[in-house]
Amino acid sequence: MSIRLHHIQKHFGRSQALSPIDLDVASGELIGLLGPSGSGKTTLLRIIAGLETPDDNPATRLLFGERDVTRVHVRDRRIGFVFQHYALFRHMSVFDNVAFGLTVLPRRERPSSGDIRTRVLRLLEMVQLSHLAQRFPAQLSGGQQQRVSLARALALRPEVLLLDEPFGALDAKVRQELRRWLRHLHDELGFTSVFVTHDQEEALELSDRVVVMSNGRIEQIDTPEALYRAPANRFVFEFLGDVNHLEGQVHNGILTCGDARLRVSLPDGRHELLLRPHEATLADTPDERANLPAVVTAVVPVGAEVRVELSADWMSEPWLVAVRHQDAERLNLARGARVYARPLTWHHYPETAGQARRSERRAQTAST
Ligand code: ADP
Ligand code: MG
């Protein structure tokens, strides 16, 4: 079922948690809401759920398919929820937890006890917990408990599943596994999902499309590939991964910052360049294009690459450069080695870091 949000705005007292938001989620889509803490993700999800009401405005509309649910109560929206701390009923077995929503349905909607049993067993099979049906929540690991939560949320066959940082409290390996679970169940059962996370990797790995939020606004909506390849603005670029900065004065096509020099095609004036760790390489000499001297402060092999941390007077923060193992060996990279960074490409957003920090402060002041 599709979800359409039109002009959804929310104030808490005088502070604005959401600027007017428009968002269309296609039927069967898995959408990730990604943003730093306080950016309004939970508020938006709770409004979709009906647990929170948007500001009263004639333009505000929330549609599930063709149905206008703007004023429909949470219990009539037929939504499944999974929250980070949505505790299971501790005094009930796994089986009873999953069956609960079905057993409390009004008599005329309630399946027979045989049908409930069949449905619960099928759900437990799907989350591979059949063998633990008689256990109690306290006897399960965190990952198993979240799988029970997922099965419980799906028992009523919701067409919309909402998840708020569902794997946030679990360790990295379990999270990875549960992400695959969720993706698999989503595709198999064909519901529409909106899930909240502050974890870039999780959002990029799991979502059909990612909605990047900051300060109650949507910064960009795109597929993970498009988002990573073409960030709409500086905030999105910085939020999606590690970034190295080079800020300096450009004169006649040369950017200068302390003893660092880089040839650029930019007009004279102050500019800041941003580049990802894999968008630079290292050499033992400068070349005619780049002279960016640095000292290696750490060398960390991570999978197929080596992450090299650099420090230099011209950097506002240490750089991180990802190189191939063979290059690390050839250059004899070790702590204390002197190297030259060579940007392969770079990104440029008109606003400088100082301006960005100032506008962020303004936005924060406005929202408190
Ligand atoms: P996120 O989930 O992205 O961390 P939230 O939606 O929880 O962000 O919060 C967005 C903003 O709204 C924050 O500034 C938060 O402090 C504020 N906020 C959220 N819920 C309430 C509430 N019930 N009362 C007052 N302010 C709230
Ligand atoms: Mg939240």
Domain boundaries, the chain: 3-239, 277-367
Tell me what the pLDDT averaged over the chain comes to: 92
Same fold, 3-239 and 277-367: no
pLDDT for residue 351: 61
pLDDT at 200: 92
Give yes or no for residue 36 having a pLDDT over 90.
Answer: yes
> Is pLDDT at 334 greater than 60 in this prediction?
yes
DSSP-assigned states of every residue in 282-320: EESS--SSEEEEEEEEEEEEETTEEEEEEE-TT-SS-EE
Q: For 93, how many CA atoms within 13 A lie in the half-sphere containing its CB?
A: 13
SS3 269: strand
- The CA distances from residue 100 to 123, 143, 164, in Å, are 13, 20, 21
**How many CB atoms neighbour CB 329 within 10 A?**
11
Instruction: Find tokens 């938001």 and name the residue.
Output: 21
- Which protein residues have a CB closer than 5 Å to ligand 2 (ion)? 42
Atom 2, ligand 1: residue with shortest CA distance: 42
Phi-psi region of 346 (alpha: psi -120 to 50; beta: other; left: phi over 0): beta
Written as six digits, the tokens of 156 are 């009523």
For residue range 154-191, list pLDDT tens digits in order. 998 899 999 999 888 788 888 888 888 899 989 988 99
Arithmetic mean of pLDDT, 20-37: 97
Q: What are the angstrom distances between the C-alpha of 187 and each of 48, 79, 192, 206?
A: 21, 17, 9, 12
| CB-CB contact of 296 with 308 (8 Å) | yes
* Residues β-bridged to residue 110: none
Domain 277-367 - what CATH class? mainly beta
The structure's pTM equals: 0.85
pLDDT band with cut points at 50, 70 and 90 for residue 364: low
Of the listed ligands, the closest to the CA of 35 is 1
Closest CA to ligand 1's atom 24: 12
- For atom 26 of ligand 1, the residue with the nearest CA is 12
Tell which wins on pLDDT, 201 or 8. Answer: 8
Closest C-alpha to ligand 1, atom 5 = 40
Atom of ligand 1 nearest to the CA of 368: 14
Distance CA 202, CA 224 (A): 11
Q: Is the pLDDT of residue 361 over 60?
A: no
Q: Is the pLDDT of residue 4 over 70?
A: yes
Report how far ligand 1's centroid is from the alpha carbon of 11 (Å).
9
Write the burial class of residue 176 (CB in 10 Å: 0-12 exposed, 13-18 middle, 19+ buried).
middle
pLDDT above 90: percentage of residues in the chain: 80
Per-residue pLDDT tens digits for 197-228: 999 999 999 999 999 999 999 999 999 999 98
Longest CA–CA separation in the chain, Å: 80
pLDDT band at 313 (very low <50, low <70, confident <90, very high): very high
Cα-to-centroid distance, 177 and ligand 1 (Å): 29
Residues near ligand 1 (Cβ within 6 A): 12, 17, 35, 37-43, 367
Tell me how far the alpha carbon of residue 42 lies from the centroid of ligand 2, in angstroms. 4
Ligand nearest to the CA of 19: 1
Closest residue (by CA) to atom 7 of ligand 1?
42
pLDDT of residue 83: 84
What percent of the chain shows pLDDT beyond 70? 95
Residue to probe by mutation, ligand 1, list 8, 10, 11, 12, most atoms within 8 Å of CB: 12
Over 90: is that where the pLDDT of 267 sits?
yes
pLDDT band at 360 (very low <50, low <70, confident <90, very high): low
Write down the architecture of domain 3-239 according to CATH.
3-Layer(aba) Sandwich (3.40)
